[in-house]
Amino acid sequence: MNDRGEALPVALEHTQRWLASLDDRPVPPQAQVEELVERLGASLPEGPTDAGAVIDHLATALEPGLTAMPSGRFYGMVIGGAHPAALAADWLVSAWDQNAGLARLTPAATATERVAGAWLLDLLGLPAGSAVGFVTGGTMANFTCLASGRDEVLRRVGWDVSAHGLTGSPRVRVLVGAERHDTVDLALRYLGLGAPEPVPADEEGRLDAGALALALEQYDGPTIVCLQAGNVHSGAYDPFGEAIEVARRRGAWVHVDGAFGLFAAAAPAYRHLAEGVEGADSWATDAHKTLNVPYDCGIAVVRDPAAVTAAMGMHGDYLIHDDAGDPLERVPELSRRARSIPVYAVLAAHGRQGTADLVARLAGHAAAFARGIAELPGAEVLNEVVFTQVCVSFGDDDRTRGVVERLLADGEAWMSGSVWRGRAVLRISVSNWSTTESDVRRSLRALERAVASD
Ligand SMILES: *Cc1c(COP(=O)(O)O)cnc(C)c1O
């Protein structure tokens, strides 16, 4: 009656079947929402069902509606897989069921945050002693960092946001590259800062540092500059050295959105892309992209721990606070899972060299895609493939959209369509640890079929 783990063997069996299917199953889902709703069952059961039977039904009902996102042939959006060490660690997180907010409540999760956080700073070349917060993703990492920046630039002009809010505050000007990620705008909206002012970008989507310098001249009040490490279309990096220097000279807070691209800094052969990035005030990245932990895990890094604590810290009389500080002071949530544990596991499994190899392998596969695609009739790779992203046109927009549609219908690989620089494109993002050279060849053949059946 009290076997807390009674359903786990059933989950293990379904999990192993799912993982074993990834190499051969079609990547797209085979059933759509309406059918899956039917399969789940329309009405709430009146009485109890055995936990194992529920798990068996759930897994069987949903199986056809799963997309093989952890497959080595999924290249949509920017989506990592789940590395074996991270996947198993994530199971422990659920079984241990720690509320990760308070050090004295969970020394285990707090210690793991400290170690995994320090390892990340080391690998990414960011200042030791920066605050590291484990959040749901890049969006909330941007939010956490930009909240710290907003409050700090206002504090410097004598305005206390936590006491007075934003009503009547001095204006905070936010400058972003024209091709920043849309979630930067979303985070700014959550923060009550409105739409940012775009600074022109070049043909790869890199912010123009000269234009930034000119824009900064126009206002000497509180300013935030948001840069990008890894453009979702081109993979390009903003010119950090120059941009950070001009921004800092004007007293601006500099934030870097490096959701997937910040990890270039962990690989000697790609570190030059992120050169100078360590000069910023805050950095957002994702562990569920390049680092390949299961959803969800983003990382918010703030150089000055006092700035993030001022923005995110809270006190409750019933909470047992630790004098040395608590993990909840670095993130928006109070209660949350112990996300640092899978991060620790994947970093320990790879080590410094393995992490560098992972990054180099992803970027190497992207380069192989670009070479293979250049051979296809009418195909044109539109970006300089500097990292893990490839953007392709197959002539006019209708033809490109047709290729994307036929590729998805073929089922061998998943690549998504987008619009970049005013043109329809096929986007490839190589972000999964398990992608092999054979996956790249199979996917190129699928693309060749999609082009040929035009
Ligand atoms: C994915 C991404 C984000 C958003 O991250 P989520 O983890 O999806 O919230 C932000 N910026 C960039 C550059 C991204 O690629």
pLDDT in tens, 67-79: 999 999 999 999 9
Kindly report the CATH number assigned to the domain that includes residue 401.
3.90.1150.10
pLDDT of residue 324: 86
Query: 232 CB less than 6 Å from ligand 1?
Result: yes
Give the nearest ligand 1 atom to 232 CA: 15
Q: Is the residue at 418 inside a domain?
A: yes
Query: What residues make up the domain containing 401?
Result: 351-452
The answer on 323 and 363 residing in a single domain is no
Give me the mean pLDDT over the 356-382 stretch. 97
Of 295, 317, 345, the domain-final residue: 345
Q: Are 228 and 207 in contact (CB under 8 A)?
A: yes
Structural tokens at position 113: 């945050």
**How does pLDDT run across 12-45, given as a tens digit for each residue?**
999 999 999 999 999 999 999 999 999 999 799 9
Of 317, 345, 373, the domain-final residue: 345
* Distance between Cα 187 and ligand 1 center (Å): 11
| Burial class of residue 20 (count of CB atoms within 10 Å of its CB; 0-12, 13-18, 19+) | exposed
Given pLDDT bands bounded at 50, 70 and 90, which one contains residue 394? very high
Nearest CA residue ID for atom 15, ligand 1: 259
The answer on 379 and 295 residing in a single domain is no
pLDDT of residue 439: 98
Q: Model-level pTM?
A: 0.97
Residues, the chain: 454
Give the nearest ligand 1 atom to 141 CA: 9
Structural tokens at position 264: 């270039």
The answer on 355 and 340 residing in a single domain is no
Structural tokens at position 238: 């903003």
Q: Is the residue at 212 inside a domain?
A: yes
pLDDT of residue 315: 86
Nearest CA residue ID for atom 6, ligand 1: 138
Structural tokens at position 421: 């620089």
Query: 260 CB less than 6 Å from ligand 1?
Result: yes
Give me the mean pLDDT over the 97-111 stretch. 97
8 has pLDDT over 80: yes
Task: Give Cβ neighbours of residue 354 (< 8 Å, ≥ 6 apart).
Answer: none
Q: Is the residue at 284 inside a domain?
A: yes
Given pLDDT bands bounded at 50, 70 and 90, which one contains residue 128? very high
Q: Is the residue at 12 inside a domain?
A: yes
In the predicted model, what is the mean pLDDT of the chain?
97
Q: Are 239 and 206 in contact (CB under 8 A)?
A: yes
The answer on 183 and 96 residing in a single domain is yes
* Distance between Cα 165 and ligand 1 center (Å): 27
395 has pLDDT over 90: yes
Q: Is the residue at 80 inside a domain?
A: no
The answer on 443 and 416 residing in a single domain is yes
Cα-based angle 182, 183, 187 (whole degrees, multiple of 5): 130
Q: Is the residue at 81 inside a domain?
A: no
The count of domains in the chain is 3
The answer on 372 and 225 residing in a single domain is no
* Distance between Cα 53 and ligand 1 center (Å): 37
Kindly report the CATH number assigned to the domain that includes residue 298.
3.40.640.10
pLDDT of residue 369: 98
Select from 139, 273, 285, 418 the residue to mutate for testing ligand 1; criterion: most ligand atoms less than 8 Å from CB: 139
HSE, side-chain direction, 13 A CA sphere, residue 354: 11
Query: 146 CB less than 6 Å from ligand 1?
Result: no
Query: 183 CB less than 6 Å from ligand 1?
Result: yes
Q: Is the residue at 79 inside a domain?
A: no
Where are the extended beta strands (E) located within 249-288? Answer: 253-257, 282-286
The answer on 123 and 13 residing in a single domain is no
Given pLDDT bands bounded at 50, 70 and 90, which one contains residue 62? very high
The answer on 265 and 149 residing in a single domain is yes
Query: 80 CB less than 6 Å from ligand 1?
Result: no
The answer on 308 and 212 residing in a single domain is yes
Given pLDDT bands bounded at 50, 70 and 90, which one contains residue 197? very high
Of 345, 365, 393, the domain-final residue: 345
Q: Are 297 and 344 in contact (CB under 8 A)?
A: no
The answer on 273 and 375 residing in a single domain is no
107 has pLDDT over 60: yes
The answer on 403 and 286 residing in a single domain is no
Give the nearest ligand 1 atom to 286 CA: 7
314 has pLDDT over 80: yes
| Burial class of residue 112 (count of CB atoms within 10 Å of its CB; 0-12, 13-18, 19+) | buried
454 has pLDDT over 80: no
199 has pLDDT over 60: yes
pLDDT of residue 190: 97
**How does pLDDT run across 133-173, given as a tens digit for each residue?**
999 999 999 999 999 999 999 999 999 999 999 999 999 99
pLDDT of residue 276: 98
| Burial class of residue 102 (count of CB atoms within 10 Å of its CB; 0-12, 13-18, 19+) | buried
pLDDT of residue 42: 76
Given pLDDT bands bounded at 50, 70 and 90, which one contains residue 382? very high
* Distance between Cα 285 and ligand 1 center (Å): 8
Q: Is the residue at 78 inside a domain?
A: no
The answer on 360 and 336 residing in a single domain is no
